[in-house]
């Protein structure tokens, strides 16, 4: 059974915004961003510009090691706003170091949950996932012993890694042409924009002079300035010959592989948390942290999915499978209101308030996806019913990393939760406390809204754990030891 929701009014955070000249029947209004949110966004953008400028300075004397050259290229592209349709949104807008490479805007995390794209009136249907440790995910595969799909990137595993051998690289190919993210109409636009950037020479040194040896059509600037999706009759609106199209495809892959190389670097995936220090006998848990770790591995059953490692296994705090824990819908998502044409005639969410995130099952059945960087293995389509509404188990590394104590982080695929305590309480009491409507006075403490979907809901390890309030706090205390930066980066 699926729980349908009436769309709750999205208040406090909406401002009228347009995309320029109106299209017939277009809606002008969109989700509002409060002055506080806009101020935070400006601060994040300034930080992105500063980091990009520092990375560009390194081009004067680039590393002489190819691995480090690839890492530098990946960093430059992650912080490059020019790779979005309106030249205003870098990948880093949703992934900054201070938050463990997930959403860096506290007010967006607290209010909308998801983030606006390069077209600022379009919001995603999910919160930003951390890309730290993402390159360590295996290529998506079916494990018959577990009866599970394992690996991939994205909440719905749709960056499988089957083509490039690297899920993180295929994940990097999603946002550039996602209409509600970076919004380019064609992957060739990302290649064209990159060919005009200061890192072109380094890219050609690493990947070859053929990378940008493309005869660009005269209208490429105009085509690439119009937000996607492309017209139905022209899925590749940058008109290239077959050889040039092949070069653009290969270069786009190399851009993505560079980004994955940076994400795999010690700058992003460092293993420098207190937990790692304890493993190395360089620190000790407090009494509360140790109690939380014992609960994590025992009574609370967290370690069954958020694995702390084993023989030959890094402690990545995920098993790379997917699960439906029964998370309620997040009525704060602006995506529910994106059911009418915007100024360019685009409708992000035709389902409107009845939208239900189908997770991995939706990917397998080629449901409406905002971006699909990897092909679906048709042999897996039969697995769709058993994967409906299941969401990839995220790593818990950096789950509490934040730039300052009052900073709000959003959790789960839809950003419903805004504190670790609330998540642990939910795992503990989902099936014990009564149901209530969203915004009920007791929501999150004495009652819970119904799950967004009950398809394949996990009832064996979630919902009735019998933890005391102090035990919940201890688990939170342990998870806070997973924040990188406790040890210096060597």
Residue 336: the pLDDT is: 97
Residue 409: the pLDDT is: 98
What would the pLDDT profile of 287-297 be if each residue is shown by its tens digit? Answer: 999 999 999 99
Residue 331: the pLDDT is: 97
Those residues of the chain that have pLDDT short of 70 are 1-31, 368
Residue 31: the pLDDT is: 66
**Could you tell me if 347 and 147 are in contact, meaning their C-beta atoms sit under 8 angstroms apart?**
no
The region that residue 271 occupies, defined by phi over 0 for left and psi between -120 and 50 for alpha, beta otherwise, is left
Residue 490: the pLDDT is: 75
Please give the structure tokens belonging to residue 162.
């089957």
Classify each residue of 126-142 as buried b or exposed e, where b means 16 or more C-beta atoms within 10 Å of its C-beta: bbbbbbbbbbbbebbbe
CA distances for 293 relative to 92, 227, 479, angstroms: 32, 47, 8
- Backbone φ and ψ for 359, nearest 5 degrees, come out as 55, -140
Spatial CB neighbours of 101, under 8 Å, sequence gap ≥ 6:
95, 130, 131, 132, 263, 268, 398
The rounded distance, in Å, linking the Cα atoms of 79 and 91 is 6
Q: What pTM was estimated for this model as a whole? A: 0.93
Burial class of residue 405 in the structure, from the number of CB atoms within 10 Å of its CB (0-12 exposed, 13-18 middle, 19+ buried): exposed
**Could you tell me if 482 and 399 are in contact, meaning their C-beta atoms sit under 8 angstroms apart?**
yes
My answer on whether omega of the bond before 121 falls inside 30° of 0, hence cis, is no
The rounded distance, in Å, linking the Cα atoms of 37 and 120 is 13
């Amino acid at each position: 059974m699926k729980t349908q929701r009436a769309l709750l009014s999205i208040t406090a955070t909406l401002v009228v915004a347009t995309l320029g000249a109106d299209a017939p029947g277009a809606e002008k209004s969109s989700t509002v961003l409060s002055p506080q949110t806009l101020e935070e966004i400006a601060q994040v953008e300034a930080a992105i510009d500063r980091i990009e400028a520092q990375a560009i300075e390194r081009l004067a004397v680039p590393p002489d090691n190819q691995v480090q050259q690839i890492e530098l290229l990946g960093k430059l592209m992650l912080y490059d706003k020019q790779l979005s349709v309106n030249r205003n949104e870098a990948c880093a807008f949703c992934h900054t170091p201070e938050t463990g490479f997930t959403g860096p805007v506290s007010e967006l995390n607290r209010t909308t949950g998801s983030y606006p794209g390069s077209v600022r009136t379009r919001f995603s249907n999910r919160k930003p996932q951390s890309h730290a440790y993402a390159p360590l995910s295996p290529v998506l595969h079916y494990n018959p012993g577990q009866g599970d799909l394992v690996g991939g990137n994205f909440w719905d595993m749709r960056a499988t890694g089957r083509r490039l051998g690297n899920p993180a690289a295929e994940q990097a190919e999603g946002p550039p042409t996602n209409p509600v993210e970076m919004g380019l109409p064609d992957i060739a636009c990302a290649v064209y924009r990159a060919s005009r950037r200061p890192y072109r020479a380094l890219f050609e040194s690493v990947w070859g002079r053929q990378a940008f040896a493309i005869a660009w059509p005269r209208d490429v600037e105009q085509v690439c300035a119009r937000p996607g999706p492309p017209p139905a009759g022209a899925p590749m609106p940058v008109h290239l010959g077959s050889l040039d199209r092949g070069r653009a495809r290969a270069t786009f892959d190399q851009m993505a592989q560079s980004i994955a190389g940076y994400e795999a670097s010690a700058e992003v995936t460092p293993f420098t948390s207190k937990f790692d220090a304890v493993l190395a006998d360089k620190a000790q848990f407090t009494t509360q942290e140790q109690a939380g770790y014992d609960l994590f591995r025992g009574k609370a059953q967290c370690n069954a999915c958020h694995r702390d490692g084993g023989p030959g296994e890094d402690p990545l705090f995920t098993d790379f499978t997917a699960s439906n824990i029964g998370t309620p819908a997040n009525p704060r998502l602006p995506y529910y209101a994106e059911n009418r044409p915007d100024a360019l005639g685009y409708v992000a969410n035709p389902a409107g308030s009845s939208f239900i995130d189908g997770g991995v099952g939706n990917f397998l059945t080629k449901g409406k996806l905002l971006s699909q960087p990897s092909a679906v293995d048709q042999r897996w389509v039969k697995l769709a019913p058993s994967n409906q509404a299941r969401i990839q188990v995220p790593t818990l590394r950096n789950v509490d990393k934040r730039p300052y104590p009052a900073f709000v982080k959003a959790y789960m695929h839809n950003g419903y939760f805004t504190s670790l305590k609330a998540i642990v309480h939910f795992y503990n009491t989902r099936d014990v406390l009564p149901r209530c409507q969203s915004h009920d006075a007791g929501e999150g403490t004495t009652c819970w809204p119904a799950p967004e979907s009950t398809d394949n809901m996990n009832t064996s390890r979630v919902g009735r754990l019998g933890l005391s309030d102090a035990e919940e706090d201890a688990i939170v205390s342990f998870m806070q030891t997973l924040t990188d930066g406790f040890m210096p980066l060597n």
